[in-house]
Chains A and B, each alone.
Chain A
Amino acid sequence: MKSRFINNLFYFFKIPPEKGRKRPSRYIHMRRSIAVLFIMITIIPLTVMAGINYHQYRETLKKEMKTPVYSLVNDIKYAFEIFIEERLSTIKFISNAYTYEELENNEVIKNIFRALKSEFNGFVDLGMVNEEGVLVSYAGTYDLLGKDYSNQESFKEVRVKGNYISDVFMGYRKFPHIVYATQRLAEDGDTWYLRATIDTKKYEELVNSIDLGPESDAFLVNRKGVLQTASRYYGNVMEKTTLDIPPVTHGTFVREMKDNDGREVLAGFSNVHTDYIFVLVKPKSVILKSWYTLKSEMFFILGISIIIIVIASIRLSNLVTNRIKMAEERRETALKELQHTQKLSSIGRLAAGVAHEINNPLAIINEKAGLMKDIISFSKDFEHKKEFLQHNETIISSVSRCRSITHRLLGFAKRFDISFEKLDLNQTVKEVLAFLEKEASYRHIEIILNLNNNIPEVFSDKGQLQQVFLNILTNAMGAVDKGGRIEISTYKDPKTKMTAIDFKDNGHGMNSEVKKHIFDPFFTTKNGQGTGLGLSISYGIIKKLKGKITFESHENKGTTFTILLPEEETYESIAEEEEN
């Protein structure tokens, strides 16, 4: 495929063979190659550029879309930490500020709880648990006094760690809540625990404070992946989330991943107060919406460009190929014409040589016969004198006929060299008519001459002009029927300021198809009788003589050929103009 393409390219630049047969497939190949070449040199760089752009833009966008997720996750993490820390500190402060005895008093703890509620929202209740794990005092809406917590996880953990933050759970209260607990070691060695319950609504509120946007999700999970706040897509509260939570050791990070529904998402993770992980999930499709718009716009523009390029390339290749084809055809035609002209020229030279050689003996015959005639004429009467004279006259007249033939042959040869001179157009056409008069009279064709004696002399070549006139008149005589009429007029054309000659016949005329081709070489209507070169050569000659040849023809009405020829001044100015 590649080598063929290169071959075609070579063809494109190679000068076609001199005597090349017509190969239409060559032009098809050329057309295809040019089109492919054009398309390749335009589309490849365009596509590569578009590809690079696409890739770079996507990379930049990926980096840029991570940043807002990252900072949002961080913000929420701090908000949570502040919230938790605040409440934890408050409980610690209460446990440190009051003695066991004070807190054991239900009235005291209720007062504290009231003050707490007015300062910090989210507290549901407050209670104190003794060393044995029994709730000894309580402020809140539930009747929990005397409840034993010694077997609960929270009690065990707080004894070890000193602080405790629970997961969301239902507990005795039968609604989701969180427990914050802190241990107090008194100076006398007594140990007791202050325990506060916080409504998870507060967590939800924090999460909901983020303007999430569509199809996004944000929630809190514990270390085990159990949801602490409501999630839109990844499970219910207090159940394990369906999202794959990676181990979060410290800090915040954002990663691209696929969720269980197969959505491409960008997820931000951050640990909150060692016990929780805050998760923010944004589907890529939302973030990348502008990217998708851009992408489709880019593909649209690329597609349109490619279509335009392809159409333009095909058009261009057609144009170029047609131009080449036309140029080659013209050249071929010119070559054929030249060959034909050369052939005619050599025939002409041969004829001229023969004619010249014959002229000399002919001159001798002429003189001998003339002398015989003289002698007989000057001598006295003798038997058969009259007969002798008659025969002799026949010889002389035959020589005269031969003379006109040789002169015509010699004239024919002369037609191939152009030599400009000032010419009387009327005289020139009359000389041509001398050749045709006999045929015209045989066929009863009337030749009418409307020659204007006041036309200026044209600057032209007599022999060439005569050939053109002869061609046109021969065609005219072929076109008219017996008894037809040919009218020749000369006049000065006011429009072009050239001298004009009209050849008007009342013959059968031409149809539009013939009209289109009459100046084409080898086009003939004479079915093998003509060479189809007459008018083509005539056209070439008139062009060389800086004249113009036009015609008008109507079927069954006749044809008029008009030839315009320049005077010397006009000729010079046209020649000069052409040179420039």
Chain B
Amino acid sequence: MKNKVLLVDDEPEFVTTLAQRLRLRDYEVKTAMSGEECLEIYSQFNCDIVILDLMMPGMNGLDVLAGLKTENKDIPVILLTGHGSTKEGMEGMKQGAADYLMKPLDIEELTKKMDELLN
């Protein structure tokens, strides 16, 4: 049984490439390009974990996180931040995110964190 991952980022190239890499690592991945799309897909796709970019046009990462948490407060969410500082990540964790990573990512670090959270 593959772990189901929902990957959310407004940068298509980033999303598709990362999705492809995760699939190569045996995850079932669905992608969303915006916060709104994320919440829509989440309601249909029963995923195990969400990887969410904090900085997006429209609904930002923290709003989406709140939306996800109202649907399922136990869903693990890993935040991605491009801001180089830990401040936004910490804020996200206060609001229920499981962890945060800084962009550009190290794929091994990401999968390690995901596996920790999923088991």
Contact = CB atoms under 8 A, between A and B. Distances in A.
Interface stretch (A90-98, A364-372, A543-551, A571-579): A364-372
B87 A414 contact: yes
Interface string B80-96: 00111101000000000
Main secondary structure of the interface of A (DSSP, over half): helix
A364 B13 contact: yes
Interface string B12-36: 0110011011001100000000000
A360 B11 contact: yes
Contact of A363 (B24, B85, B103): B103
Interface string A177-213: 0000000000000000000000000000000000000
B82 A363 contact: yes
A356 B24 contact: no
Contacts of B17: 364, 367-368, 370-371
A411 interface: yes
Given A359-B104, A399-B104, A367 B21 contact: yes
Given A363-B104, A370-B107, A410 B85 contact: yes
Contacts of B55: 356
B39 interface: no
Nearest to B9: A363
Nearest to A406: B84
B5 to A, nearest CB: 15
A359 B18 CA distance: 15
Given A410-B84, A411-B85, A414-B87, A363 B20 contact: no
A356 B107 contact: no
Given A360-B14, A403-B104, A378 B82 contact: no
Contacts of A132: none
- Number of contact residues on B: which range applies? 20 to 34
A363 B55 CA distance: 13
Interface in A349-378: 355-356, 359-360, 362-368, 370-371, 374-375, 378
A409 interface: yes
Contact of A407 (B21, B84, B87, B107): B84
Given A410-B83, A410-B85, A366 B104 contact: yes
Contacts of A371: 17, 20-21, 24
B102 interface: yes
Contacts of B14: 360, 363-364, 367
B104 A374 contact: no
A406 B84 CA distance: 7
Contacts of A366: 104-105
B8 to A, nearest CB: 14
A409 B84 contact: yes
Given A360-B14, A374-B21, A374-B24, A367 B105 contact: yes
Contacts of A374: 21, 24-25
A525 B18 CA distance: 51
Contacts of A365: 104
A375 B18 CA distance: 13
A104 B103 CA distance: 164
A411 B87 CA distance: 10
A362 B83 CA distance: 13
Nearest to B25: A374
Nearest to B13: A364
A368 B13 CA distance: 9
A360 B84 CA distance: 12
Contacts of A367: 13-14, 17-18, 21, 104-105
Nearest to B85: A414
Contacts of A360: 11, 14, 82, 103
Candidate in B17, B18, B105 with the most chain A CB atoms within 10 angstroms: B17
A21 to B, nearest CB: 41
A363 B84 contact: no
Given A363-B82, A371-B21, A407 B102 contact: yes
Interface in B59-104: 82-85, 87, 102-104
A356 B14 CA distance: 15
A428 to B, nearest CB: 12
Nearest to A368: B17
A321 B107 CA distance: 67
Contact of A359 (B25, B87, B103): B103
Contacts of A362: 103-104
A399 B102 CA distance: 13
Candidate in A363, A364, A368, A399 with the most chain B CB atoms within 10 angstroms: A363
B1 to A, nearest CB: 22
A355 B55 CA distance: 14
Candidate in B25, B84, B103, B107 with the most chain A CB atoms within 10 angstroms: B84
A355 B102 CA distance: 13
A368 B20 CA distance: 10
A267 B36 CA distance: 122
B85 A370 contact: no
Contacts of B83: 356, 410
A573 B55 CA distance: 38
Nearest to B81: A359
A366 B11 CA distance: 13
A359 B24 contact: no
A407 B104 CA distance: 10
Candidate in B21, B25, B105 with the most chain A CB atoms within 10 angstroms: B21
Interface of B: 11, 13-14, 17-18, 20-21, 24-25, 55, 82-85, 87, 102-107
28 contacts: A356-B55, A356-B82, A356-B83, A356-B84, A359-B82, A360-B11, A362-B104, A363-B104, A364-B13, A364-B17, A366-B104, A366-B105, A367-B14, A367-B17, A367-B18, A368-B13, A370-B17, A370-B21, A371-B17, A371-B21, A400-B106, A403-B104, A406-B84, A407-B102, A408-B84, A409-B84, A411-B84, A419-B87
The 8 closest A-B pairs by CB, nearest first: A410-B84, A366-B104, A407-B84, A367-B17, A359-B82, A363-B104, A363-B103, A364-B13
